[in-house]
Amino acid sequence: MKTIAVAFTGASGMPYGMRLVDCLLAAGERVWLVYSQAAQIVAKQEMDLVLPAQPREVQRQLTEKFGAREGQLTVFGRDDWNAPLASGSNPPDAYVICPCTMGTLAKVATGMADDLICRAADVVLKEGRKLVLVPRETPLSVIALENMLKLARAGVVILPPSPGFYHRPRDVAGVVDFVVARILDQLGVEHTLLPRWGGE
C-alpha cells in the first residue's frame, strides 16, 4: 500500500481531484487529503458538493461517499503543521495537487511554504519523492510557463488536464477519466479506466 497525498486548490477541475481520490481508494492506497478555502468554493460551483471547514467532517463525508476502509483516508486542515506530510521524517510516497492554481504553482516554484499544501510540496521535493501538479489554466502567461519550466527541471511532473479523444468518451466522466488515468500512471497505480494504446 502506497501513501499518496492529494491537495485540492481553487482552480477549476474539482471533478479530476475527486475522481483521483476515488480511484486511489479503490486501488487500496492510503490517501492523505488537504484542501484550500478556494477549493471549497469550486467544489460547490462545479459539483454541488459542500466541503465543510472541519477536516474531520470532510473525512467522514468522503469515506462514506467512496466506501473507504477505516483509516484509509485522512483529511488534514491547511494549517495543520502537525500533519505527517509537513515533515520530511514522514513524507508520503507521492503527492498530487489536483487541480492546481497558478498561485499554488508559483508558491511551490519559489519555495513559499506558508500553508500545509505548499509545505507538503516542499517536503516531497526535498525528500526526492514524486510530485505531480495538475494546473488548470488557459492561456498560459510567460510567468506561469517559466514557473512550470523551473519545476520540471526540479523533477516535478507538470500534467495539465488536457484530455485526448481517441478513446471516444461518451460523456464528461469519460473525459475526466482520461486525465485521471494519466495521473495514476505517473503514480504507478494500476487502473482500468482506459484501454491502452495499441492494446487488444
* pTM score above 0.95: yes
Give the model's confidence band at 196: pLDDT under 50 very low, under 70 low, under 90 confident, else very high.
confident
Q: What is the SS3 assignment for 95? A: strand
State pLDDT tens for residues 148-169: 999 999 999 999 999 999 889 9
pLDDT score at 198: 79
Residue 200 has pLDDT above 70, yes or no: no
Give the model's confidence band at 195: pLDDT under 50 very low, under 70 low, under 90 confident, else very high.
confident
Q: Which range, of 71-75, 152-156, 190-194, averages the lowest pLDDT?
A: 190-194
Q: CATH class for domain 3-187?
A: alpha beta
Q: Taking the CA atoms of 175, 178, 101 and 36 in sequence, report the sign of the dihedral they define.
A: positive
pLDDT score at 197: 82
